[in-house]
Amino acid sequence: MTEIVLVRHGQANSAATDEAGYDQLSDLGRQQAVWLGDHLRGHGERFDRVITGTLKRQQETAQAMGYDKGETDARLNELSYFALTQAVEAQHGIPAPQEAAEFARYLPEVMTYWEGGHLENVPERFDEFASRVTTLIDEVCTGHGRVLLVTSGGVISMIVRHVLMLDLAATTKVMLHINKSSLHRLQYVHGGLMLGMFNATPHLYSPDRAAARTFI
């Protein structure tokens, strides 16, 4: 049996306006990761493999968790959100939201244009993104043991989509609610991949850490 534990990276630079500016943990994001690593070790969690994407915020999260000697795989890298938003504005006249409250309306529009092939000159097509993510998961499932994957919200959403066979609307809802530094568990048993845990933050359950529960 293979067990896969997915972790979304800690809070990054939410004030950024481009990919490079976003790709670093905030002080809170680093603390979230430290707490998560402490929680996993405190509950005797051990992993046969640790894999992160090649993005700085993903690797910084793994390092702060105490897993700084793992593998890297670019298939765990996040979708190019800023490139997509720029394409939506340039090609369809829809600007990116200025307030977090508008994001729940905006993201489904972006994903619909992308999935439908209505965005030109973007780093990758929707089907290419989905394929690289599911190919990696399928490869991991051919092995055995426990695997920790430190990645991003869009990637986790596509994995959940793959496991539960979700449509785009449901996938986008999943994407909107994945917490920073959250845990997700998958088990590959009897030839099938099962979702055993979604969006858990046990390392942030105590009342004094309530303000550290973030998803943007």
Q: List the domain boundaries for the chain.
A: 8-79+124-206
| Three-class DSSP category at 180 | coil
Q: Which has the minimum average pLDDT: 53-62, 114-123, 186-195?
A: 186-195
Phi-psi region of 170 (alpha: psi -120 to 50; beta: other; left: phi over 0): alpha
Q: Residue 89 corresponds to which tokens in the numbers above?
A: 């504005």
- Reported residue count of the chain is 216
Mean pLDDT of 184-212: 95
CA-based max dimension of the chain: 51
What is 8-79+124-206's CATH superfamily? Phosphoglycerate mutase-like (3.40.50.1240)
65 contacts 203 by C-beta, under 8 angstroms? no
pLDDT tens, residue by residue, 64-111: 999 988 999 999 999 999 999 999 999 999 998 888 778 889 999 999
Q: How far apart are CA 147 and CA 145, in angstroms?
A: 7
pLDDT at 144: 86
> Cβ contacts of residue 75 below 8 Å, gap of 6+?
53, 132, 133, 135, 136
Eight-state DSSP code of residue 25: B
CA distance readout (Å), 154 to 1, 7, 37, 117: 26, 12, 22, 18
- The stretches of the chain forming alpha helices (DSSP H) are 19-22, 27-42, 56-65, 81-92, 103-115, 126-141, 153-164, 168-176
What is the edge-to-edge ordering of all strands in the sheet holding 183-189? 71-72, 49-52, 145-151, 2-8, 183-189, 192-200
Q: How far apart are CA 92 and CA 105, in angstroms?
A: 15
Q: Which has the minimum average pLDDT: 52-56, 81-85, 187-191, 204-208?
A: 187-191
Q: How far apart are CA 60 and CA 66, in angstroms?
A: 10
Q: Which has the minimum average pLDDT: 30-44, 87-101, 107-121, 169-183?
A: 87-101
Q: How far apart are CA 137 and CA 147, in angstroms?
A: 11
Mean pLDDT of 191-212: 96
Question: 7 phi and psi, to 5 degrees?
Answer: -130, 130
Residue labelled with tokens 């929707």? 126
